[in-house]
Amino acid sequence: VAVEVVEETGSTNADLLARAALLQAPLLLVARNQTAGRGRAGRSWLSSSEGSLTFSLAWRFEGGVNRLAGLPLAVGVALAETLGRLGVQVGLKWPNDVLRDGDKLAGILIETQSAKDGGVWAVIGIGLNLLMPDEAEALLGRSIASLPWLARMDRNELLAALLDGLADALREFGRAGFGAFVARWNLRHAWQGETVTILDRGAVLHEGAAAGVDDAGRLLLDTVDGRIAIMAGDVSLRVK
Ligand code: ATP
């Protein structure tokens, strides 16, 4: 995979999306400093030049965008497994977060663009907190996780390890779909059995016990009316 490093940009996802139509091969874009990082549904991702790793990977898949429903979860598994190999245990929160001791350590944002030949480019953005400044929590109004121990590791080595793990996972996802990741995701499900609520723009849509994900990457929820499966869309998940 070709790698490009830039000193500073607004959003590595925005940059790669703008270039996706012209790409011939996978491309990893790393920004030492990302000034306007994005989250889902117009939310933003905060990073610091010294204290976080921000990058996006453009990867082409065959078929339509509907095949990519479980991709954010598969990417979470890849991150968790790589971090695990580096000695850091993390949990996964549906659909797209990596948690450490209950707080968000990394965010995953996937945006897509149709490829000219009928396939689709997925731009997979990852923001990983290594050593975020103290002000970050006040700015965000929530507590977040960092990895001071990993922050001491050589950035290039860390990035290479994450890219290796990601590329393996993306090849596997292309071949086998999310089915290859279900058990691995469920093994790391941070909120298994917890009572959670599903929110849509602040309004509670459902409440129940989180029971892992199915082979389409939907969250299974045991409610008073029985088990239901939730599609990611723009809903948010909160533990009660
Ligand atoms: P959640 O349900 O955790 O609020 P989400 O999955 O709906 O998040 P995302 O789009 O994944 O939201 O992430 C954006 C959110 O992540 C922001 O609204 C902000 O609260 C939080 N956030 C932004 N930067 C960071 C960071 N560096 N570390 C941890 N959390 C962050």
pLDDT at residue 192, as a whole number = 98
Residue 7 main-chain phi, psi, to 5 deg? -70, -50
Ligand 1, atom nearest to 47 Cα: 27
- Return d(Cα 58, Cα 84) in angstroms, integer: 24
Condensed to tens digits (0 to 9), the pLDDT of residues 53-103 reads 999 999 999 999 999 999 999 999 999 999 999 999 999 999 999 999 999
Of 68, 78, 178, 167, nearest to 112 (Cα)?
Answer: 68
Query: How would residue 214 be classed by pLDDT, with cut points 50, 70 and 90?
Result: very high
Three-state SS string over the chain comes to CEEEEEEEECCHHHHHHHHHHHCCCCEEEEEEEECCEECHHHCEECCCCCCEEEEEEEEEECCCHHHHCCHHHHHHHHHHHHHHHCCCCCEEECCCEEEECCEEEEEEEEEEEECCCCCEEEEEEEEEECCCCCHHHHHHCCCECCCHHHHCCCHHHHHHHHHHHHHHHHHHHHHHHHHHCHHHHHHCECCCCCEEEEEECCEEEEEEEEEEECCCCCEEEEECCEEEEECCCCCEEEEC
Across residues 19-33, what is the average pLDDT?
96
206 lines ligand 1 (CB under 6 A): no
Q: How far is the CA of 45 from the centre of ligand 1 (A)?
A: 6
Amino acid in the structure at residue 39 = G
Cβ atoms of 147 and 129 within 8 Å: the answer is yes
Condensed to tens digits (0 to 9), the pLDDT of residues 127-185 reads 999 999 999 999 999 999 999 989 999 999 999 999 999 999 999 999 999 999 999 99
Q: How far is the CA of 39 from the centre of ligand 1 (A)?
A: 6
The share of the chain scoring above pLDDT 90, in percent, equals: 94
Please give the structure tokens belonging to residue 36. 């306007």
Q: How far is the CA of 118 from the centre of ligand 1 (A)?
A: 32
Atom 31 in ligand 1: residue holding the nearest Cα:
45
**Statement: residue 116 has pLDDT above 90:** no
Atom 16 in ligand 1: residue holding the nearest Cα:
45
**Statement: residue 117 has pLDDT above 90:** no
Provide the mean pLDDT of the chain: 96
The share of the chain scoring above pLDDT 70, in percent, equals: 100
pLDDT at residue 31, as a whole number = 98
Across residues 201-215, what is the average pLDDT?
96
Residue 93 CB-half CA count within 13 A: 21
pLDDT at residue 152, as a whole number = 93
Cβ atoms of 131 and 146 within 8 Å: the answer is yes
Residue 52 CB-half CA count within 13 A: 27
Q: How far is the CA of 79 from the centre of ligand 1 (A)?
A: 17
Compare 147 and 234 and report the one with higher pLDDT: 147
Cβ atoms of 50 and 131 within 8 Å: the answer is yes
Cβ atoms of 149 and 88 within 8 Å: the answer is yes
Atom 21 in ligand 1: residue holding the nearest Cα:
45
Please give the structure tokens belonging to residue 77. 């598994």
Active site residues: 40, 104, 238
Ligand 1, atom nearest to 46 Cα: 24
